[in-house]
Amino acid sequence: MKDLKQLKEQWAQQHFDKQYSKEELNGFLQKKSTYSIKWIFYLSIAEFLIYMALPLLSPNYYESFAYYKSLDLFGFNIFMRVMGYALLLYFMWRFFQNYRKITVTASVKEHLSTILSTRKAVSQYFYANVGLLLIFTLVVFIRSFQMDANLIGLEQENISFLMISFIIGLVVAIVLGIYGVLYYFVYGRFLKPLKRNEKELKQLNP
Amino acid sequence: MSTPNSETEFVALLDEHQNIIHKICRLYTNNEVEHEDLFQEISIQLWRSYGRFEGKSKFSTWMYRVGLNTAITLYRKEKKRLNTQPLNDQFTAIAQEEYNAQVDEQMAWLYQKIKDFSEIDKALVLLYLEDKRYDEIAETLGISAGNARVKMNRIKERLKKMLG
């Protein structure tokens, strides 16, 4: 191959074995897309609905309120729950913004930016949830040792504070682990194809 | 968006320009299965956004944009390399009587050479070889015309070097 001009000419001359018929092309249009970002928004709606339905799904939901009240944490409990809803609503709004913006007809740069913004929002959502869960658990845990007669009783029965802390820490770690795995499977499935776009976006920026 | 009429019209356009999609697929995939998968995905994305196609640009120009976006961002199959046969065995041109073995060979060589280019560089190669104007390249990629010119010059240099 001698030069670029010749390369261009040959490029224009290339043919492809595979030529789909109109029937085949028509069939493609009916197939399912692997479009990821819209699913992230739908998932957040599903999550919100499950969150809203929790009091109905769990018969003992309100019993925990009485326990928090006994620890003088009723207000804190309500505050954290409201924060949980606010967080979810805020991220739903962000997912919706991306959902609205995402379109394959945008320029490659705009498209890459929206995809990266979605990835960022999903990971921030995960960390914000974990943070909220940790703060809540920590506060309830400390207060329980100060005010819960059963726990104070355990201490008196020579079960060390360290041992109880370890067990509770382990339970929290397992809960967080399950949350992480669920998150990975549910959202990760849709995020996987969106990886590695950052490098490409950087390449487009002068 | 879609009426039976517009579907027929769209399929006719898709049929007419299907080689554009084949070129994108050959650039961004490693085997026949992936090629077909990506072809389908691009067709679906084109059809879904067809209602928003206002005809301001040529249908083919609009296809590059949708096709490249789909290939670069949405279509991310793990590189399984199901079939390690060279691409020229699978997608070569044998359809016509004046079958040009040399073109076929050179194209197989070219696709092989640019396989390791970044996703954006592959897009630039495609737009360059398709003889697109700087303003069209800029619009497709979402960069300034000046930046498109700079990037295109770099790609030309890289191709020249490759040709030796």
CA distance B119 to chain A (A): 7
Residue-wise over B32-70: b if at least 16 C-beta within 10 A, else e? bebbebbbbbbbbbbbbbbeebeeeeebebbbbbbbbbb
Cα distance between residue A198 and residue B87, in whole Å: 28
Predicted ipTM?
0.79
User: Which of B109, B67, B70 lies closest to B87 in space, CA to CA?
Assistant: B109
Is B101 an 8 Å CB contact of chain A? no
Which domains are present in chain B?
A: 1-78 (1.10.1740.10), 100-164 (1.10.10)
CB A120 within 8 A of CB A198: no
Query: Does pTM surpass 0.90?
Result: no
- Chain B residue closest in CA terms to A105: B66
Domain extent listing, chain A: 35-204
CB B71 within 8 A of CB A200: no
What was the pLDDT predicted at B93?
Answer: 41
Instruction: Count CB neighbours of A72 within 10 A.
Output: 11
| One pLDDT digit (tens) per residue for chain A, 206 residues | 568 888 898 898 888 888 899 989 988 888 776 666 677 778 778 877 887 787 777 777 777 888 888 889 999 999 998 998 899 899 989 988 888 887 788 888 888 888 788 878 888 888 898 899 889 888 888 888 788 877 777 666 666 777 777 887 888 888 888 888 888 787 777 776 666 677 777 777 76
CB A9 within 8 A of CB A87: no
What was the pLDDT predicted at A117?
Answer: 85
Is B13 an 8 Å CB contact of chain A? no
User: Which value, to the nearest 10 degrees, does the dihedral of the CA atoms of residues A67, A70, A71, A74 take?
Assistant: 70
